[in-house]
Amino acid sequence: MKLPFPGVWLAIFCFIPGFVISAPPFPPKTVPVLIKKSPLDAKVETLLKKMTLEEKIGQMCQFHPWRGADEKFKSQTAEGKIGSFLNVFGAKETNAFQKAAMNSRLKIPLLFGLDVIHGYKTIFPIPVAEDCTWNPDLIERSTAVAAKEAAAAGVRWTFAPMVDVSREPRWGRISEGSGEDPALGAILQPARVRGFQGKNLSDPGSIAACAKHYVGYGAAEAGREYNTTDMSEMTLRSIHLPPFKACVEAGVRTLMSAFNDLNGIPTSGNVHTIREILKGEYAFKGFVVSDWASVEQLVDHGYAADKKEAAQKGVIAGVDMDMVSNVYGDNIPALLKEKKLSMGQIDDAVRRILRVKFELGLFDKPYAEEEKESAATLTPENLATALEEAEQSIVLLKNEKNLLPLSREIKTIAVIGNLADSKRDPQGSWNCRGEESIDKVVTVLDGIKARVSKETKVLYNPGVGTSSSATDLVINEAVKTAKQAQMAIVVAGETQDMSGEAASRTTLDLPGRQEEMIKAIKASGVPVVLLLMNGRPLTIPWEAENIPAIVETWYLGTQHGTAVANVLFGDTNPSGKLVVTFPRSLGQVPIYYGQMHTGRPVDEAKPNEKWHSRYIDSPNSPQFPFGFGLSFTSYSYSNLRLSSRTLNSKGQIKVTADVKNTGAMDGFEIVQLYIQDIAASITQPVRKLVDFKRVTLRAGESQMVEFNLPASKLGFYNGIGKYVIEPGKFNVWVGKDSSDETLKDSFDLINAPAALLKK
Ligand code: NOJ
């Protein structure tokens, strides 16, 4: 019998009562790939030799400055007992703590971490929106702005990007990731790593990135936050790991272990995922920080009998730094004495942490420059990047009879819904230092007022909000306002705190009485444009059927209102495409384009026939598919060509298609390349995204779009986690979204090696 995952067996064996292994050695596959010797290693080793045990453990402990405890923390820092803080920010504040570190025996600088997720003070669109740009260069630029603003405030480490793939819209954190697709995540997330970390980590504007939450967190059962996850090794490798692997390849310096239990082993105590895959197979040289007390929570998971055993399991698994709980500080000395941990394991963790501190240049330049801090934030350039990204993040979902764009000469326009007048909501759930830049936020109402002609009257009514207790009177008032106008712009959706961490929902409907209000306004005869403002896919079947124009605006950050108005009035042609499927109803969840086949697919010719994999009360198809997004112009796709009908396992083919802007407005089109492995030794998804191109097309212009498709992209992870490429027939599509069947062809992969091919 094959024992596929030695770490799992080792972990089980180590903790069978009566079988306590003293100072467990790493199993052969899990020996940390130790860092080739370099001048930096020499510095790390020299310092490590000088450190006492207490100082070493100190580097493995991160704290949050609980209110009133600053002085206690400063004196512990001066004693060398603390290596990092989170949530200390501002040049003056970080410098005050750093001064304590500089008073310590070895002057090892503190590393300050903060959740700089989509901006520091200049707030960019929430990540799921940013990713609807399908524009890695722009994402890299905006992330670099966030890094510069944070670094000027002494924060040289962010807990971002969140790279969790999720197909679970009930889960509030779907707002923080790249959506449902591993391949897209593996392209877009490394752009964030490059943006944060810059060309050189020691540049004063660079900060260390942290790919999180390692791993599988986005698969929380029932979409309930922090809930357990259970998946095959194949699903782990093919869906959840690819963006992490891509970030490691892009040089990410840190990873965060997650809160979730994964196949019975919580991820913050998981030898297989951290030691074997991350530090072994991927040769990751940076360090792993736990999520907030997630090592201590091994006890709550029922995976450790007490905090001491939790600390032991955290260290053995390879969690190098503990966030806030101090289980390492409290327990490592005794665990070493009892030979339940070895000094080699501690040194491995400390080396990794010191290395990142050296790479950041903190030993040479521990302090932030207080006089430069405010000049670095909210600059006109930063705001211009935020506007560019906000515009590209908007997804036009419906535009019947070209209702949009609107004329700015419109006589009276009604703006309905209190989200339109909110400065807090457009900043999303992780607004970082956004409260200090709240005045800079342009609301939808501000944006519209600034864009219409001087003669236009803009009426506003807050409507029902998201509360279910709004009265009929409130709805009637909203209708009254709408009726006075030629057009009603209804802003509906979720408040910013309804998505993000700890914000799971059991329905995806518009909260409260918003839909009733929209129906009443529509019934009054006024044409309605619906602007959605939300952090997850919503179910809006009635609106999709009955409202002529629908725009997904997400939370777009500081420049929200300007970007929205630029689209509404046609200054900007929308180009965003969805990175997550919008279901028709919650009953369809999980629903994603890359689903597996079934043995009984729906017969297209007889879609209502029984005995097929379908619902009796709904089509299988989503409301809006992955990759979907309209424009004010139209595009035609034609002439799909393959450079060859066959390729071998080392070869590649060129896939080309002509894309034409057939409308009257210039635009950007996101052209997508999908494949399907028709028959394989393990069944494969009905489609997989492999590449995309973002092309600029002037009105009437046609362009040939070319993709290189190498055989290395045609493989999959098999049941024991190996990447294999098998010979056989493949379908290929070039199209505007994941459901586009217009351009389809096929080719054969021949001579694939019999041996497993490792990527
Ligand atoms: C818990 C969250 O899960 C994580 O994403 C975040 O970085 C930490 N808290 C620190 O704030």
CB of 740 within 6 A of ligand 1: the answer is no
CB of 501 within 6 A of ligand 1: the answer is yes
Would you call the peptide bond into 161 cis, given omega within 30 degrees of 0 as the criterion? yes
Atom of ligand 1 nearest to the CA of 176: 5
Residues 6+ apart with CB under 8 A from 203: none
Q: Binning pLDDT at 50, 70 and 90, where does residue 249 land?
A: very high
Quick check: is 230 catalytic? Answer: no
Q: What is the pLDDT at residue 527?
A: 98
Q: What is the pLDDT at residue 20?
A: 35
Task: Compute the CA torsion angle 254, 260, 266, 267 (nearest 10 deg).
Answer: -20
CB of 226 within 6 A of ligand 1: the answer is no
Res 449 pLDDT > 80:
yes
Catalytic: which of 131, 181, 291, 737?
Answer: 291
Owner of token pair 């580097």: 59
Q: What is the pLDDT at residue 321?
A: 98
**Domain 635-758 -> CATH class:** mainly beta
Q: What is the pLDDT at residue 756?
A: 46
Owner of token pair 């005045």: 439
Going 638 to 643 to 647 to 651, the CA torsion angle's sign is negative
> Could you tell me whether strands 528-533 and 287-290 are parallel, antiparallel, or unpaired per DSSP bridges?
unpaired
**Choice from 159, 225, 256 to test ligand 1 binding pocket (greatest atom count within 8 A of CB):** 159
According to DSSP, residue 251 is labeled T
Task: List % helix, strand, coil for the chain (3-state, nearest 5).
Answer: 35, 20, 45
Atom of ligand 1 nearest to the CA of 210: 7
Q: Binning pLDDT at 50, 70 and 90, where does residue 753 land?
A: low
- Based on the number of CB atoms within 10 Å of its own CB, is 658 exposed (0-12), middle (13-18) or buried (19 or more)? middle
Q: Binning pLDDT at 50, 70 and 90, where does residue 757 land?
A: very low
Atom 1 in ligand 1: which residue has the minimum CA distance? 292
Res 14 pLDDT > 80:
no
Q: Binning pLDDT at 50, 70 and 90, where does residue 752 land?
A: low
Cα gap 356→676, rounded to integer Å: 41
CB of 217 within 6 A of ligand 1: the answer is no
> What is the CA(307)–ligand 1 centre distance, in A?
21
Q: What is the pLDDT at residue 224?
A: 98
Residues 6+ apart with CB under 8 A from 622: 581, 582, 583, 584, 588, 591
- Smallest Cα–Cα separation from 385: which of 671, 130, 196? 130
Please give the span between the terminal C-alpha atoms of the chain, in angstroms, as a whole number: 25
Mean pLDDT computed over 745-757: 75
Cα gap 465→95, rounded to integer Å: 43
CB of 159 within 6 A of ligand 1: the answer is yes
CB of 666 within 6 A of ligand 1: the answer is no
CB of 176 within 6 A of ligand 1: the answer is no
Residues 6+ apart with CB under 8 A from 1: none
Assign domain 389-588 to its CATH superfamily.
Answer: Glycoside hydrolase family 3 C-terminal domain (3.40.50.1700)
Backbone Cα Rg of the chain: 27
- Where exactly are the structural domains of the chain? 9-372, 389-588, 635-758
Q: What percent of the chain has pLDDT over 70?
A: 94
> What is the CA(571)–ligand 1 centre distance, in A?
38
CB of 212 within 6 A of ligand 1: the answer is yes
Alpha helices in 267-364 (DSSP H): 298-301, 307-317, 327-337, 343-359
Atom 10 in ligand 1: which residue has the minimum CA distance? 292
Res 68 pLDDT > 90:
no
H-helix or E-strand spanning residue 749: strand 743-750
Mean pLDDT computed over 214-239: 97
Owner of token pair 């609807």: 132
What does the pLDDT look like over 509-529, one tens digit per residue? 999 999 999 999 999 999 999
Q: What is the pLDDT at residue 751?
A: 78
Mean pLDDT computed over 314-332: 98
The tokens of 4 are what? 């596929």
Phi-psi region of 473 (alpha: psi -120 to 50; beta: other; left: phi over 0): alpha
> What is the CA(469)–ligand 1 centre distance, in A?
33
**Choice from 292, 294, 429, 431 to test ligand 1 binding pocket (greatest atom count within 8 A of CB):** 292
Res 10 pLDDT > 70:
no
Res 246 pLDDT > 50:
yes
Q: Are 206 and 147 in contact (CB under 8 A)?
A: yes
> What is the CA(291)–ligand 1 centre distance, in A?
6
Cα gap 195→404, rounded to integer Å: 34
Q: What is the pLDDT at residue 720?
A: 87
Is the domain covering 9-372 a CATH 3.20.20.300 domain?
yes
What does the pLDDT look like over 344-370, one tens digit per residue? 999 999 999 999 999 999 999 999 999
> What is the CA(292)–ligand 1 centre distance, in A?
6
Atom of ligand 1 nearest to the CA of 258: 3
> What is the CA(709)–ligand 1 centre distance, in A?
38
> Mean pLDDT score of the chain, rounded to an integer?
94
Mean pLDDT computed over 84-97: 97
> What is the CA(294)–ligand 1 centre distance, in A?
10
The string of DSSP letters for 562-603 reads HHHHHHHTTSS------SS-B-SSGGG-S--TTPBP-SS---
CB of 225 within 6 A of ligand 1: the answer is no
Cα gap 7→269, rounded to integer Å: 11
Atom 3 in ligand 1: which residue has the minimum CA distance? 291
Atom 9 in ligand 1: which residue has the minimum CA distance? 292
The tokens of 5 are what? 């995952």
Q: What percent of the chain has pLDDT over 90?
A: 91
Q: What is the pLDDT at residue 414?
A: 98
Going 468 to 474 to 476 to 478, the CA torsion angle's sign is negative
Mean pLDDT computed over 620-633: 98
Q: What is the pLDDT at residue 755?
A: 46
Residue 696 has, within 13 A of its CA and on its CB side, a CA count of 2
- Smallest Cα–Cα separation from 420: which of 510, 491, 495, 511? 491
What does the pLDDT look like over 19-57, one tens digit per residue? 333 334 344 344 444 545 789 999 999 999 999 999 999
CB of 164 within 6 A of ligand 1: the answer is no
CB of 291 within 6 A of ligand 1: the answer is yes
Q: What is the pLDDT at residue 320?
A: 99
- Smallest Cα–Cα separation from 176: which of 454, 489, 442, 503? 503
Atom of ligand 1 nearest to the CA of 113: 10
> What is the CA(412)–ligand 1 centre distance, in A?
45
> What is the CA(550)–ligand 1 centre distance, in A?
33
Atom 4 in ligand 1: which residue has the minimum CA distance? 291
- Smallest Cα–Cα separation from 558: which of 372, 374, 382? 382
CB of 367 within 6 A of ligand 1: the answer is no
CB of 192 within 6 A of ligand 1: the answer is no
Res 546 pLDDT > 50:
yes
Mean pLDDT computed over 133-148: 98
What does the pLDDT look like over 703-743, one tens digit per residue? 999 999 999 999 999 988 899 999 999 999 999 999 999 99
Do 9-372 and 389-588 have matching folds? no
Mean pLDDT computed over 160-167: 98
Point out which residues pair with 656 in neighbouring strands.
641, 706
